[in-house]
Amino acid sequence: MVLVDFSRSSLDRSATLASGGASTVQRQRWREVLARTVDGRNPLARTYADRMIADLTKAGGAPSRVLVVGGGQIGDGSAALYAASGIEIIAFDIYLSGDVTFVADAHAIPLRDKSVDAVWVQSVLEHVLDPVQAVAEIRRVLKPGGLLFADASFLWPVNEGAYDYTRWTPAGFRWLLRDFDIIAGGSSSGPGTATLMALRYLLQSMLRSRKLGQIAAFPFLWLRLLDRLCDRPRALEAAGGLSYYARKAKTPAQARDLPNFYNRLPTLRKGELPSSRANEEKIF
């Protein structure tokens, strides 16, 4: 089902409908497996997914609706959301796949106001032309107090070519999400992984070949392990990607609070579930 408002989208109507919503980027399963082997995995996404499940299901009652923005592929660490009882997944992307409910554009989400309990947007916001509009749409469809997991690139090199538009510093990403109270956050990939990626792209450029550069970078995969030795705030300042777990705010954050951000961000550890909502503190 294609639910794209083409008058407000960068998608070409004729091409999208003619292809049946097929992706313009090659997305074979083997490429995904190779990318996770070479580039590493998001070490905290599963922890955030577990936290979201716990927050949504502890009250019981009707299933909670989780909207996955850019859900053409199940994101690294998010599979637990799809398997959890008491969770109804609604997923969309700009291309058709077996994991989406419908095809749509994040700039104009075809859902009613305040209709979902949580939103999961992983490695997507850097690929939308107007991330401010996309986040405004996310806020619109979230119920009051609804949850958000947002993950985006910082020092990660360009991926998906012409469909990669934006990067954020920790404070810049927080400002993008200023209509949310941040509960926890940190780096989805640290300085070690960022160094490895820069080295890989350097080798690919020098050797004039993506494949040869990839092979030449294999002996340096150990650089990813250095992420485990890094801690904030320096790790955030040189992270490949950033992840924030947040709740829809009643009032937006103020620009004057941005300098306090580095010293106040609580970072989730792998496998660690923070305190319940009753003990949550608005940290920024």
| Residue-level pLDDT at 26 | 62
What pLDDT score was predicted for residue 279?
46
Task: Report pLDDT for 9.
Answer: 72
Secondary structure, 3-state, the chain: CECCCHHHCCCCHHHHHHCCCCCCCCCCHHHHHHHHHHHCCCCCHHHHHHHHHHHHHCCCCCCEEEEEECCCCCCCCCHHHHHCCCEEEEEEECCCCCCCCEECCCCCCCCCCCCEEEEEEECCHHHCCCHHHHHHHHHHHEEEEEEEEEEEECCCCCCCHHHCCCCCCHHHHHHHCCCEEEEEEEEEECHHHHHHHHHHHHHHHHHCCHHHHHHHHHHHHHHHHHHHHCCCCHHHHCCCEEEEEEEECCCCCCHHHHHHHHHHCCCCCCCCCCCCHHHCCCCC
Question: How many angstroms separate the Cα of 2 from the Cα of each of 100, 104, 105, 146?
Answer: 11, 6, 10, 26
Domain ranges of the chain: 6-190+230-271, 192-229
Q: What CA–CA distance (Å, rounded) separates 40 from 4?
A: 33
User: What is the structure's pLDDT at 89?
Assistant: 98
Contacts of 160 (CB under 8 A, 6+ apart): 25, 127
Sequential pLDDT tens for the chain (284 residues): 777 777 767 677 777 777 777 776 665 565 566 566 666 677 789 999 999 999 999 877 789 999 999 999 999 999 999 999 999 999 999 999 999 999 999 999 999 999 999 999 999 999 999 999 999 999 999 999 999 999 999 999 998 888 899 999 999 999 999 999 999 888 888 899 999 999 999 999 999 998 999 899 999 999 999 988 887 677 888 999 999 999 999 999 999 988 887 777 666 655 555 554 544 544 44
Strand order, beta sheet including 87-93: 102-103, 87-93, 64-69, 116-122, 142-153, 241-248, 180-189
Q: Which residues 6+ apart lie within 8 Å of 277 measured at CB? A: 55, 247
Q: Into which CATH architecture does domain 6-190+230-271 fall?
A: 3-Layer(aba) Sandwich (3.40)
